[in-house]
Amino acid sequence: MDTDASLFSRAFYDEFQTEAQIGKGTVNYAKAMQKTVLSILDERRTTLVHWAPFVLHGCWISRVQAPNLTPDKLPEVSKAGHEGAVCRLRMRASQAQKDEALHLAAGRGRLGVVRLLLTAGAHPDFRDKRGDMPLHAAAAGDHEEIVRWLLDNGADPGAPGFAGDTALHMAVRHGHADIVQSLCLEMMTDIDLRNVEGKTARDVAVELGCHDLWESINASRIIRGLYRGSSIAPAL
């Protein structure tokens, strides 16, 4: 049997493209080869463990005692949405690794992973190098359920991110009407917060020609006023 890592990893990738093709025999075969193949590097300095999460949706990696599945891989497997691998790593990972993983998972819409990481102590208000938080990533990516989970777990809806944009600014910029409505009406986000350019989310909507979003934000102002028993006219 040819054990060249480059050929084997490429064949592994080509042969098992979908989870439906994974059989019990495949896993047993991988286990039998564990001691001789799993730690071999190919020309990209990767092993089969690196390929497994992306090809097999986490199934292979959760059933083989992979020596290279270390806590530093948590952000990578979280971004890819592999809940089994996240379960194995989350309690051994550092705070920084969990926080980074949460941000990546939120941006990719990995709700299950987000829930696992939050229960493991990941900070919902962690900032990446740009200054954005998981909430900003979720709002930009149109992941409404994740937005709700983050807010329910202490994320600040009015926190400024890159260029001072709030989650509402981000949702408007990306045209996500459902998230705009949820943030304005259900989550009572401050719609008058301004970014570093001095613009509110409503200003951004006008600038981008998103009149439906402008109307949604404006309507929320009226509804809030009625809810409080006062009359607040929409700003024109």
For the stretch 177-219, pLDDT in tens is 999 999 998 788 999 999 999 999 999 999 999 999 999 999 8
> Is it the case that residue 230 has pLDDT exceeding 70?
no
For the stretch 16-58, pLDDT in tens is 433 333 343 444 444 444 444 555 555 555 555 555 544 444 4
- For residue 5, what are the domain limits? 1-68
Task: Please check whether residue 54 lies inside any domain of the structure.
Answer: yes
Distance CA 37, CA 161 (A): 44
Task: Please check whether residue 97 lies inside any domain of the structure.
Answer: no
Task: Please check whether residue 167 lies inside any domain of the structure.
Answer: no
The total domain count for the chain is 1
For the stretch 95-138, pLDDT in tens is 999 999 999 999 999 999 999 999 999 999 999 999 999 999 99
